């Protein structure tokens, strides 16, 4: 074509082989980049460096000869064409593996690009003269390949850009649905396992408790007390696992008479629990466990023998204060009692009770603590009023 008039046919053939290597390798790695966010400047810089190195090797004489005048193609040129064809076959295979990522028309066009490029490369292995018939056929195949690239990329992206955007959105929606289904299935499985374990272990522990009670009159009281404490510890863990299970599900909020709920919880404990005030809030069934956990901690860890619970309506929310007369919480650990796994002292168990309580309450309010006077601790739970909960829910639905 007269572009390199003083360099013969070897130079353009070298440039051709170098460009085909670059093209085939690009087609091979392209499917791996489909779901990644590419840095345009970085990609451009990489291609610039490789192109510069290839051109330098060709024009400085380091690149192998591809065509010798009068003899035809070199062994390097022929082997390279076959090797490039193998790379293109591999890229066709990778394209097929990721066909769901593409519009069906785009996928067929890109497949045509690779297939016609392979035919072109094979045609270029036969010619002796650059103006020979096989060279001409190879260029026709190459023209078809470029035309398919034009149709797949240029026409689709410029004339039908919304098709690509809509497909990408649909694929993301599909991925989100699949992930949600997988998570829901996992939660159901974990919940079932948890229920089975609780049921079986509770049955065994009840048998042990009855046996220990029968043996107290005939055995060492100290040993039996240790056994009974171990059973009570296991029962506490089971109850905490039940609370933890409630965290895995987002339950529908319902209107709860807080005074009535607190009265029900207070009857579960062998100490004095004074209940005053009234509130109506929106919460879920996990709130029962939250209040029970706080009272239980006051008895077990705080050594309290009385708990005062007071609730009142304030501007926009209901405040519930659970105050005990125990030994209180040391200042150095107040900021950590709601942390997952935090335990303190010999009475500490799993370290997840208050963590679970905080997570449950945060669905519809907040929880904090302060010192009680002259001794003990006050847990303060604030719940949004019914109207505010409804507004937040409506906002979430609109989003």
Q: Are 251 and 286 in contact (CB under 8 A)?
A: yes
280-283 and 254-257 strand pairing: antiparallel
Interatomic CA distance for residues 49 and 45, integer angstroms: 6
Q: By residue range, what is the domain housing residue 275? A: 251-399
Residue 387 within a domain: yes
Residue 232 within a domain: yes
Q: What is the pLDDT of residues 231-256, one digit of tens each?
A: 666 666 666 666 556 655 556 788 99
Domain CATH number, residue 366: 3.30.565.10
Indicate whether this model's pTM tops 0.75: no
In terms of domains, do 236 and 106 share one? Answer: no
Radius of gyration in angstroms for the set of CA atoms belonging to the chain, rounded to a whole number: 37
In terms of domains, do 91 and 15 share one? Answer: yes
In terms of domains, do 212 and 86 share one? Answer: no
In terms of domains, do 233 and 101 share one? Answer: no
CA-based torsion, 154, 155, 161, 166: positive or negative? negative
Domain boundary among 204, 225, 249: 249
Q: What is the pLDDT of residues 152-211, one digit of tens each?
A: 777 766 666 555 555 666 667 777 887 887 777 666 666 656 665 665 566 666 666 666
pLDDT greater than 70 at residue 130: no
DSSP 20-78: HHHHHHHHHHGGGGTTS---HHHHHHHHHHHHHHHHHHHHTT-SPP-EETTTEE-HHHH
Interatomic CA distance for residues 11 and 132, integer angstroms: 17
Domain boundary among 249, 275, 302: 249
Q: What is the pLDDT of residue 162?
A: 56
Q: Are 328 and 372 in contact (CB under 8 A)?
A: yes
34-43, 126-135, 172-181, 220-229: which is most confident? 34-43
Q: How many domains does the chain have?
A: 3
Residue 171 within a domain: no
Cα–Cα nearest to 240, from 300, 319, 311? 300
Q: What is the pLDDT of residues 303-343, one digit of tens each?
A: 999 999 999 998 878 999 999 999 999 888 888 888 877 77
7 φ, ψ (degrees, to nearest 5): -120, 5
In terms of domains, do 256 and 392 share one? Answer: yes
Helices marked H in 150-160: 156-159
Q: What is the pLDDT of residue 306?
A: 94
In terms of domains, do 269 and 394 share one? Answer: yes
In terms of domains, do 18 and 113 share one? Answer: yes
Report the number of secondary-structure helices (H) and strands (E) in the chain.
12, 9
Q: Average pLDDT of 103-108? A: 78
Interhelix angle 104-123/10-29, nearest 10 degrees: 150
Residue 346 within a domain: yes
Residue 2 within a domain: no
85 φ, ψ (degrees, to nearest 5): -65, -40
- Per the rule left: phi > 0, alpha: psi between -120 and 50, beta: everything else, 252 is beta
């Amino acid at each position: 074509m007269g572009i390199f008039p003083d360099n013969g046919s070897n130079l353009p053939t070298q440039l051709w082989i170098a460009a085909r290597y670059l093209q085939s390798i690009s087609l091979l790695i392209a499917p791996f980049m489909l779901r990644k966010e590419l840095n345009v400047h970085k990609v451009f810089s990489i291609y610039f460096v490789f192109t510069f190195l290839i051109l330098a090797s060709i024009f400085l004489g380091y690149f192998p000869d591809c065509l010798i005048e009068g003899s035809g193609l070199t062994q390097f040129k022929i082997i390279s064409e076959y090797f490039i064809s193998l790379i293109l076959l591999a890229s066709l295979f990778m394209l097929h593996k990721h066909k769901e990522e593409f519009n069906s028309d785009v996928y067929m066009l890109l497949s045509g690009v690779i297939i016609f490029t392979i035919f072109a490369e094979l045609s270029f292995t036969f010619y002796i003269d650059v103006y020979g018939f096989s060279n001409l056929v190879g260029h026709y195949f190459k023209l078809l390949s470029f035309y398919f690239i034009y149709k797949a990329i240029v026409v689709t992206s410029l004339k039908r850009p919304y098709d690509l955007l809509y497909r990408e959105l649909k694929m993301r929606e599909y991925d989100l649905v699949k992930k949600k289904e997988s998570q829901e299935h996992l939660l159901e499985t974990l919940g079932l396992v948890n229920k089975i374990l609780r049921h079986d272990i509770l049955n065994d522990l009840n048998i042990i408790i009855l046996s220990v009670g029968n043996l107290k009159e005939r055995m060492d009281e100290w040993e039996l007390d240790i056994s009974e404490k171990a059973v009570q510890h296991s029962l506490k863990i089971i109850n905490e696992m039940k609370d933890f299970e409630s965290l895995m599900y987002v339950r529908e909020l319902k209107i709860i008479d807080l005074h009535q709920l607190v009265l029900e919880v207070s009857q579960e404990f062998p100490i004095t629990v004074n209940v005053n005030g009234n509130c109506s809030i929106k919460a879920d069934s996990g709130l029962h466990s939250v209040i029970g956990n706080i009272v239980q901690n006051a008895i077990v860890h705080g050594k309290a023998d009385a708990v005062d619970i007071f609730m009142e309506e304030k501007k926009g929310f209901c405040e519930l204060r659970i105050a005990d007369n125990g030994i209180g919480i040391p200042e150095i650990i107040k900021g950590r009692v709601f942390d997952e796994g935090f335990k303190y002292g010999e009475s500490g168990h799993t370290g997840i009770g208050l963590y679970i309580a905080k997570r449950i309450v945060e669905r519809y309010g907040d929880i904090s603590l302060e010192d009680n006077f002259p001794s003990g601790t006050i847990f303060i739970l604030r719940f949004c009023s019914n109207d505010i909960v409804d507004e937040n829910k409506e906002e979430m639905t609109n989003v």
